[in-house]
C-alpha cells in the first residue's frame, strides 16, 4: 500500500468525502486499500523526490497528499489498531519525510507549498475530540518529531501551538517538545540586526513564541499529586520540555538595548529548575541534570548582557546534589534499580563542564567554571562513571559557595530582566 500512496485527486475527493468517521471525525475511508490514479501518484512522487519543481498549481495535489497521510490516522480501518497506525507513521517517514530530506534535487518550493498543507491537515487530526479519538490523536502526535525533521516554518508553528495550548493533553505535548529540538539552537537577535527586515522580525517572533511555550510549561505550577505514578508522569513530560529548552544554547532570544528588555529568556527558567521552590512539583534529579547541562551549553557571548556567574554557581550546587545522591545509593547499586543512570549521566556532566569552561573563558565566571570542573571531574565524576566509591561527597558545595554571586542579576542593564535568588 505504501507504494500506492498519493495519486490522490479524484479518488480521495469521491471515496473519502462520501464516508465519515464517527461524529466529530474527518474524511474517512471504508476500504483499507484504495486504488489511486497513476497520473496523480506520479505527480506527487515527482514533487517529493525532486523530479519536478513545485509551483502554485501543485498545491491541490500536495494538499491531498497531506490529507491522505494525516486523515488515515482516524480512518475506521485503522483507528483502533495501534499496529496499523504505527505502519502509517512509518509510511510518512519513508515515503515523504526521508525523500524530501535526502534528495538533493528536491526544490525549496516543494516544502514551501507542502508545509502549510501538512500544518492544516495534521492540526485537524490533533484537534479531534481526545476522548473519542484518543488513539488517532496520539498517533498524530507521534508524527510530529518526523514532520519536524523538515525544519519547515509551518511545522514549527504547529509544534509551538501544540506546546502552548493549555487545554492540550500532556501526552500530545510530549511529542511536540521532542520535535521542537529540530528548531534549536537559537540564533539570538542582537542590536546589530535590522528588525525592519521582515525575515528577521519573523524569526524573532517565531523563536520567542517557541521559547515561551517551553518556559511557560516548565514553570506552570501544579499541585503535587499524592500518587507517585502521577507525579512521575508529570516529571517525565516536564523533563522532555527542559531537555528541549536546554538545546537553545543561548541565554535568551534577544536582549536589545534599544528596546530595553529581555525577550524569550532561556537561562532564567533553566535556573529555576535548580533552586528551591523554583518550580512545582519539585523537580526530579534527572530534570535538574538536564537544566544544568542546558546552562553548561549556553553560548555566553551570543547575548552580551548575560552574566553567567549564577549559572556556574547553580551547576556547582547540582553537582553536589548529584554526588551526594550517588553516594547514598552506592552500596545498593547491585541490589536495586538505580535512581539515575549514573555512568551515563556522570559522563554527560563531565562533558558539560568542559563546554561550560570554554563558554565562560572570556567572562568573569571563567575562574569559577574552571574551579568547579577541576573539583568535580577527577575526584567524583570519573569514579561515578566506573561505579566506584567516592570520598567526601559534600565537598563540592563548599567549592561552589566560594564563588557564590554577589548579585542575583542575570542580564546587566536590563531592569525588566528576571533575577534568581539561589537561596541557601
pLDDT at residue 19 is higher than 70: no
pLDDT recorded at residue 401: 97
Residue ranges of domains in the chain: 1-183, 187-306, 308-408
- For 97-155, the pLDDT digits (tens) are 999 998 777 778 899 999 999 999 999 999 999 999 999 999 999 999 999 999 999 99
Stretch 351-379: mean pLDDT, rounded?
A: 97
Q: What is the pTM of this model?
A: 0.91
- For 252-308, the pLDDT digits (tens) are 999 999 888 999 999 999 999 999 999 999 999 999 999 999 999 999 999 999 999
Using alpha carbons only, what angle is made at residue 236 by residues 233 and 239, rounded to the nearest 5 degrees? 150
The widest CA-to-CA distance across the chain, in whole angstroms, is: 74
295's CB contacts (< 8 A; 6+ apart) are 267, 270, 271, 274, 311, 312, 314, 315, 356
pLDDT recorded at residue 27: 65
Higher pLDDT, 24 or 61: 61
pLDDT recorded at residue 29: 55
Distance of CA 351 to the CA centre of its chain: 21
For the residues of 180-245, what is the DSSP string, one character each? HGGG-S---B-TTS-TTSHHHHHHHHHHHHHHHHHHHHHH------SSHHHHHHHHHHHHHHHHHH
Question: For a pLDDT cut of 90, what percent of the chain falls above it?
Answer: 78
Q: Judge whether 259 and 305 are in contact, CB under 8 Å.
A: no
Residue with cell 555566553: 300
pLDDT at residue 8 is higher than 80: no
Higher pLDDT, 108 or 29: 108
Query: Where is average pLDDT lowest: 50-59, 184-193, 341-350?
Result: 50-59
For the residues of 283-309, what is the DSSP string, one character each? PPHHHHHHHHHHHHT--GGGSTTB-TH
The pLDDT confidence band at residue 22, using thresholds 50, 70 and 90, is very low
For the residues of 308-370, what is the DSSP string, one character each? THHHHHHHHHHHHHHHHHHHHHGGGTTTS--SS-HHHHHHHHHHHHHHHHHHTTTSTTHHHHH
Query: Where is average pLDDT lowest: 2-11, 74-83, 202-211, 415-424?
Result: 2-11
pLDDT recorded at residue 10: 35
Q: How far apart are CA 50 and CA 58, in angstroms?
A: 13
C-alpha cell at 342: 549514573
Angstrom distances, CA of residue 118 to CA of 14, 96, 148, 197, 394? 21, 11, 11, 27, 52
The pLDDT confidence band at residue 24, using thresholds 50, 70 and 90, is low
The pLDDT confidence band at residue 80, using thresholds 50, 70 and 90, is confident
Instruction: Supply the mean pLDDT for the chain.
Output: 90
C-alpha cell at 21: 468517521
pLDDT recorded at residue 44: 82
Q: How far apart are CA 267 and CA 84, in angstroms?
A: 42
Amino acid at each position: 500500500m505504501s507504494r500506492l500512496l498519493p495519486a490522490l485527486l479524484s479518488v480521495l475527493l469521491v471515496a473519502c468525502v462520501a464516508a465519515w468517521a464517527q461524529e466529530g471525525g474527518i474524511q474517512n475511508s471504508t476500504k483499507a486499500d484504495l486504488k489511486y490514479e497513476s497520473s496523480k501518484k506520479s505527480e506527487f512522487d515527482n514533487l517529493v523526490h525532486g523530479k519536478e519543481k513545485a509551483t502554485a498549481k501543485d498545491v491541490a495535489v500536495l494538499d491531498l497528499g497531506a490529507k491522505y497521510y494525516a486523515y488515515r490516522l482516524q480512518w475506521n480501518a485503522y483507528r483502533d489498531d495501534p499496529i496499523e497506525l504505527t505502519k502509517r507513521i512509518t509510511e510518512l517517514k519513508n515515503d515523504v519525510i526521508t525523500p524530501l530530506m535526502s534528495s538533493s534535487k528536491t526544490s525549496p518550493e516543494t516544502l514551501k507549498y507542502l508545509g502549510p498543507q501538512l500544518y492544516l491537515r495534521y492540526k485537524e487530526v490533533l484537534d479531534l475530540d481526545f476522548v473519542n479519538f484518543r488513539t488517532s490523536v496520539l498517533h498524530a502526535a507521534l508524527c510530529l518529531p518526523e514532520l519536524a525533521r523538515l525544519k519547515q516554518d509551518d511545522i514549527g508553528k504547529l509544534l509551538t501551538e501544540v506546546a502552548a495550548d493549555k487545554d492540550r493533553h500532556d501526552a500530545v505535548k510530549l511529542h511536540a517538545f521532542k520535535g521542537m529540538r529540530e528548531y534549536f539552537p537559537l540564533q539570538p537577535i542582537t542590536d546589530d540586526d535590522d528588525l525592519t527586515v521582515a525575515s528577521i522580525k519573523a524569526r524573532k517572533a517565531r523563536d520567542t513564541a517557541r521559547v515561551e511555550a517551553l518556559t511557560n510549561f516548565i514553570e506552570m505550577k501544579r499541585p503535587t499529586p499524592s500518587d507517585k505514578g502521577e507525579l512521575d508522569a508529570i516529571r517525565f513530560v516536564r523533563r522532555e520540555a527542559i531537555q528541549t529548552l536546554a538545546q537553545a544554547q543561548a541565554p535568551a532570544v534577544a536582549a536589545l538595548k534599544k528596546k530595553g528588555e529581555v525577550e524569550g529568556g532561556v537561562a532564567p527558567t533553566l535556573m529555576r529548575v535548580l533552586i528551591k521552590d523554583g518550580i512545582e512539583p519539585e523537580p526530579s534529579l534527572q530534570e535538574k541534570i538536564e537544566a544544568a547541562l542546558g546552562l553548561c551549553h549556553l553560548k555566553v557571548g551570543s547575548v552580551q548582557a548575560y552574566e553567567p556567574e549564577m549559572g556556574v554557581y547553580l551547576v556547582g550546587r547540582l553537582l553536589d546534589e548529584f554526588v551526594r545522591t550517588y553516594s547514598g545509593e552506592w552500596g545498593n547499586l547491585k541490589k536495586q534499580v538505580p535512581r539515575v543512570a549514573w555512568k551515563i549521566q556522570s559522563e554527560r556532566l563531565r562533558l558539560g563542564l568542559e563546554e561550560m569552561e570554554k563558554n565562560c573563558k572570556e567572562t568573569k565566571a571563567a575562574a569559577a567554571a574552571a574551579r568547579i570542573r577541576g573539583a568535580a571531574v577527577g575526584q567524583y565524576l570519573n569514579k561515578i562513571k566506573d561505579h566506584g566509591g567516592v570520598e567526601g561527597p559534600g565537598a563540592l558545595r563548599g567549592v561552589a559557595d566560594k564563588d557564590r554571586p554577589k548579585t542575583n542579576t542575570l542580564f546587566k542593564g536590563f531592569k525588566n530582566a528576571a533575577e534568581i535568588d539561589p537561596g541557601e
